[in-house]
Amino acid sequence: MPYPTTGPATWFVTGTSRGLGLELVKQLLERGDNVAAATRSAERLNAALGSADRSHLLPLEVNLAGEKAVAAAVAAAADRFGAIDVVVNNAGYGFLGAIEEVTDAEARQMFDVQIFGVWNLLRAVLPAFRQSRSGHIINISSILGLTAFPGWGLYCAGKYALEGLTESLAAEVAGFGIKVNLVEPGYTRTDFLRIHSLGLPANTAEGYEAIREMTEAHLAMPGTQLGDPVKAAAAIIRVAVSGTAPLHQLLGSDSYGLAKSHIEALTNDFEAGHELAVTTDIAAK
């Protein structure tokens, strides 16, 4: 079934008390859609929503890493609104540190949010989507899910994993009529680079001055990023409503430019290794 055209659609959005998720919730409520809004803090979400009409809102305090908690949240959304039409896996946070500085706990926390949380939500919604042969999953990745930079290793590891999972998913469920998209924003003017959102390593190592300088530069960036979260949220709604967006929907001219450069760099890299690559086939008899 295409995006509901006869009545309000029902959305399940994660990471909703700040930034892109909050803006998405506001715009969806203005449209008259139903929103199940997952957050770690319903109080923060409520305060951030200000005077918005909440009659179509179900705030859900949920730990995304908890499979049962996520399943219960999805059941509560279905109880309140009926079938869910669109899921947006938006919750996420940046982390700036060298690979060797990242502790096991820091790495696992990132994957809890960006991968295991997403997987929990997918397991909870896909059976109903498959049965109804409808539904749309939009996973918020990043340009850093397509190209990597020093200091962003943990974040890139999470987003690259999300890209792989999502590309497989898209191919697996297309036959059930379920749509899947990746959204890959560039720098966007949310709380992402503010100290309450951005993760930093508990332990630092000597010799990574360039990463410390880059971290300082990023902490000074809030308020100057190119991307407009209002336009980005509207673009995410357009991805769902149109149903025609490409699997990889870049957002922002910075994201587009970096993605294109990365394709060129990848091509050059593959060509540089071509001679050796073709030496390992088993020769046909």
Ligand X SMILES: NC(=O)c1ccc[n+]([C@@H]2O[C@H](COP(=O)([O-])OP(=O)(O)OC[C@H]3O[C@@H](n4cnc5c(N)ncnc54)[C@H](OP(=O)(O)O)[C@@H]3O)[C@@H](O)[C@H]2O)c1
90 binds ligand X (CB under 6 A): yes
CA 23, CA 234: separation in Å to the nearest integer? 9
Q: Inter-axis angle of helices 229-242 and 19-31, to 10 degrees?
A: 60
What track of x and - describes contact with ligand X for positions 25 through 44 (by CB under 6 A)? Answer: --------------xxx---
11 binds ligand X (CB under 6 A): no
254 binds ligand X (CB under 6 A): no
- Looking at 10, 11, 12, 19, which residue binds ligand X (CB under 6 A)? 19
> Which residue's CB is nearer to ligand X, number 91 or number 180?
91
Work out the number of other CB atoms within 10 angstroms of the CB of residue 178.
Answer: 20
95 binds ligand X (CB under 6 A): no
* φ/ψ (deg, to 5) at 109: -65, -40
- Looking at 98, 102, 113, 138, which residue binds ligand X (CB under 6 A)? 113
Kindly determine how many residues on this chain lie close enough to bind ligand X according to the rule CB under 6 A. Answer: 26
Question: Is-catalytic flag, 208?
Answer: no
> Which residue's CB is nearer to ligand X, number 119 or number 192?
192
191 binds ligand X (CB under 6 A): yes
- Please, which residues have CB within 8 angstroms of residue 186's CB and are 6 or more apart in sequence? 143, 226, 227, 250, 251, 252, 253, 254, 255, 256, 258
> Which residue's CB is nearer to ligand X, number 216 or number 271?
216
DSSP assignment of 184-231, as one string?
A: EE-SBSSSTTSTTTSB--SS--TT-HHHHHHHHHHHT-TT--SB-HHH
Burial class of residue 175, CB neighbours in 10 A (0-12, 13-18, 19+) = exposed
- Looking at 12, 13, 18, 85, which residue binds ligand X (CB under 6 A)? 18
Q: Which residues are catalytic?
A: 155
- Report the interface residues with ligand X, using CB under 6 A: 15-21, 39-41, 64, 90-93, 113, 140, 142, 185, 187-188, 190-192, 197, 225
